[in-house]
Amino acid sequence: MELFNALLLLLATSILLIWLWLKNNYSYWQRRNVETAPFSYLFGTLKDVTLQKEAFSTGTLKLYKKYKSKGAKHVGLYFLWETMYMPIDVDLVKSIMQVDFQHFVDRGVYVNEKADPLSAHLFSLEGKKWKLLRNKLTPTFTSGKMRMMFETLVECTKGLGKVMDEEMGEAVDIKDILGRFTTDVIGSCAFGLNCNSLENPKSEFREKGKAVFEKDFWENLKEVILFLAPNFMKKLNISLTPKDVSDFFLNVVKDTVAYREKEGVVRKDFLQLLIQLKNKGKLVDDEKVAEENITDEENSITLDEICAQAFIFFEAGFETSSTTMTFSLYELSKNKEIQEKARDEVRRVLERHQGKLTYDAAMEMRYLEQIINETLRKYPPLPVLNRICTKEYRVPGTDLVLEKGQRLMIPVIGIQSDPEYYPEPEKFDPDRFSEENKKNMKPYTFLPFGDGPRVCIGARFGMMQTKVGLAALLLNYDFEVSEKTKEPIDFEPKSFVMLTKGDVWLKYRRIAEIEL
């Protein structure tokens, strides 16, 4: 009997303690006088997102709209059981990303050099390590380097035309073709390999690339928890990258590096620049290193670091650009006058450049760039940006103090769909980005590449790759929606990047025979 009583007492105490913990944990924002979004114990605020019933972008957009209409400066959320802070006011967003960057240096995403070497890349690295690597890698993305790689990029459009002709029929899944195109581009620019996924859709590169983004329920659950509560997962020493993907990429990069060093092969791509950094600590034609007075030794990178960077260039580079191209073509199919105008521009610019698509020619395609920007506004591939507070921060104009370790999410999708900044936000209107209208744009309302010192390092390359792909397609093909096209587009709930759910079918026909 005594044992029974003791057990009962233990049980009652546990329940009481759990209850007290829940009460305390989920009253965090209330105690700080921050308006709190409705939440449920255990699942937190974005319950449907956690349960993978709703896309992250959709859930965030709803929250943004609700609190913006209440005139809130910010709102307090719970992700699972961790607190999350969401700024709404764009001046506050600017403070966080740029002005007071020193308080928000990191993203607070998963990184574990030991258990998962591929996770130690620029996107996830923190503090000093990030800063050092960012300085080393910045010279690989200058416009001079883009010019150097341009040829390699245009080369990949040949395979694109071939596949388009082969698959011509009733309608085609354009998302898949473009995914194969950007896989080839990044494969040849980041890894120096001809991955041939345009010709061979089952190529290992394409399969592994897809595996990073198309996950099953359990893999995605791991990622959701990693995103919502990375601290918890770090303690468990779990690798985010699936073992087969990780082995594949590590081997590919290491083999290629070894081959080039042994045979003295030099190619015009990112990998070559990374190898130079490894061996020389600088890029030979770069004065900047000398100026900054960094010894070459300190500035060099290791083979493992090369692998992780090549991997993030691949991960960050192919899906973002191919979804942007997909959404662009979808919108152009629905808005035929805009498509015509873009095609006219491509033709006129090429005529001025003797029919050759050069770096300078691409730079001159301004209207095409407006189309890409309008696509990135409506469909930002990263609908939410994250930061973590690295130094206590008093939110300007309030008495709220964000503690060190507090995570933040910046609602890019909300800001870019806000009628205050973009009247009729549902309308696809590239003229929003015309020379004239751009002058009236409010700063920090267009964030598809992020901003501040953590801004996308590959933005130039991403823009260039998207432009080249679209120019090559518009020149020779006319696009239309078909009966098979799903409308409106549905977003994939099992992904943090903004992906369409299922395929995107478009109809097209050849209208010219122009080789680039």
Ligand X SMILES: *[C@@H]1O[C@H](CO)[C@@H](O)[C@H](O)[C@H]1NC(C)=O
180 contacts which partner out of ligand HEM, ligand X, none, CB within 5 to 8 A by kind? Answer: none
To the nearest 10°, report the CA torsion of 484, 486, 492, 498: 110
Query: Are 404 and 390 within 8 A, CB to CB?
Result: yes
* Smallest distance, ligand HEM to C-beta of residue 314, A: 8
The CA distance from 125 to 138, in Å, is 15
Cβ-proximal residue to ligand HEM, closest one: 450
Which member of 448, 477, 500, 504 binds ligand HEM (CB under 6 A)? 448
Q: Give the total of residues touching ligand X (CB under 6 A).
A: 11
State which of residues 146, 275, 382, 472 lies at the interface with ligand HEM (CB under 6 A): 382
Q: What does the alpha-carbon distance between residue 315 and residue 308 come to, in Å, rounded to a whole number?
A: 10
Binding track, positions 375-414, relative to ligand X; x by CB under 6 A? ----------------------------------------
**339-368 positions binding ligand X, by CB under 6 A:** 366
Among 277, 338, 456, 471, binds ligand HEM (CB under 6 A): 456
Q: Which of residues 429-488 bind ligand X (CB under 6 A)?
A: 433, 438, 446, 449
Nearest approach, Cβ of 19 to ligand HEM (angstroms)? 38
Q: Give yes or no for residue 269 binding ligand X (CB under 6 A).
A: no
- 131 lies in the binding site for ligand X (CB under 6 A): no
For ligand HEM, the binding residue among 181, 421, 428, 461 (CB under 6 A) is: 461
From its phi and psi, is residue 264 left (phi > 0), alpha (psi between -120 and 50) or beta? left
Helix axes 204-213, 174-190, angle to 10 degrees: 110
Is 481 in contact with 461 (CB distance < 8 Å)?
no
Options 178, 308, 457, 472; binder of ligand HEM; rule CB under 6 A: 457
Among 9, 12, 115, 401, binds ligand X (CB under 6 A): 115
- Secondary structure (H, E, C), 429-493: CHHHHCHHHHCCCCCCCCCCCCCHHHCCCCHHHHHHHHHHHHHHHHHHEEEEECCCCCCCCCECC
- Does residue 141 touch ligand X according to CB under 6 A? no
296 φ/ψ angles, rounded to the nearest 5 degrees: -60, -35
Task: Output the 3-class SS for 371-426.
Answer: HHHHHHHHCCCCCCEEEECCCCEECCCCCCEECCCCEEEECHHHHHCCCCCCCCCC
Exposure string for 303-315, b = 16+ CB within 10 A, e = fewer: eebbbbbbbbbbb
- The residue from 197, 272, 326, 373 that contacts ligand X (CB under 6 A) is 373
Binding site for ligand X (CB under 6 A): 114-115, 237, 366, 369-370, 373, 433, 438, 446, 449
Footprint on this chain of ligand HEM (rule: CB under 6 A): 122-123, 134, 312-313, 316-317, 320-321, 324, 376, 381-382, 385, 448-451, 454-458, 461-462, 466
